[in-house]
Amino acid sequence: YIPPLIWGKSGHIQTALYGKMGRVRSPHPYGLRKYLTMPDGATATFDLFEPQSEHCIGEDVTMVICPGIANHSEKQYIRTFVDYAQKNGYRCAVLNHLGALPNIELTSPRMFTYGCTWEFGAMVNYIKKTYPQTQLVVVGFSLGGNIVCKYLGESQANQERVLCCVSVCQGYSALRAQETFMQWDQCRRFYNFLMADNMKKIILSHR
């Protein structure tokens, strides 16, 4: 791999460019939004995308996807991933983290947290019941990686019909990461400020 000149050799520039500009002509896959009422009254939502071609082995395979912190199915990296998966014969179900979508109001006094697997589990159960023949590929990005790994480890029943789990850029220890993000080295504290500010905006939007 040879990184592109200027932006390709700096992780900070890559993060800023992709976070603010995204991809050129980012795809817009079409999906159906599903609503699930949780036992405590919370309304979980996920988007369901059907495959656009036959899978290479002719099987029914569904990717159950958990985005990163404060993210949802409308983020550009999720749309790009889903579009690629659809074209390769995968059905995709993408969780929208509780409280992350600006046009979906909270119906209980809580939002997503670092370790709550309830909404992801509800989405997976819906897929299993609706598509009894499908096999599952579990995918989590960043915070989503923590959630999917925790979900699979909570009960052996959660692993039924799961072909594999893919955890992308997962942070393994929230406590150690917290210490790291308080350091100024590599501008880490600046990223800590940005993430905290984003979380504050989400919380205040639901007050």
Q: Are residues 184 and 155 in the same domain?
A: no
The verdict on pTM exceeding 0.75 is: yes
**CA dist 110 → 8, 20, 53, 150, 158 (Å):** 39, 28, 39, 20, 24
In a domain, 59, yes or no: yes
Q: Are residues 82 and 158 in the same domain?
A: yes
Please name the helix (run of DSSP H) or strand (run of DSSP E) that holds residue 17, with its range, or none: helix 11-20
3-state secondary structure at position 54? coil
Q: Are residues 150 and 179 in the same domain?
A: no
Q: Residue 97 and residue 11: Cα distance in Å, rounded? A: 26
- State the DSSP code for 167: E
The residues with which 93 forms a beta bridge, in sequence order, are 48, 64
User: Could you tell me the residue range of the domain that residue 198 belongs to?
Assistant: 174-206
A 10 A CB-CB count for 99 gives 20
Q: Are residues 96 and 147 in the same domain?
A: yes
Q: Are residues 125 and 187 in the same domain?
A: no
Q: How many domains does the chain have?
A: 2
Q: Are residues 186 and 127 in the same domain?
A: no
- pLDDT tens-place string over residues 37-47: 999 999 999 99
In a domain, 36, yes or no: yes
- pLDDT tens-place string over residues 99-145: 999 899 999 999 999 889 999 999 999 999 999 999 999 999 999 99
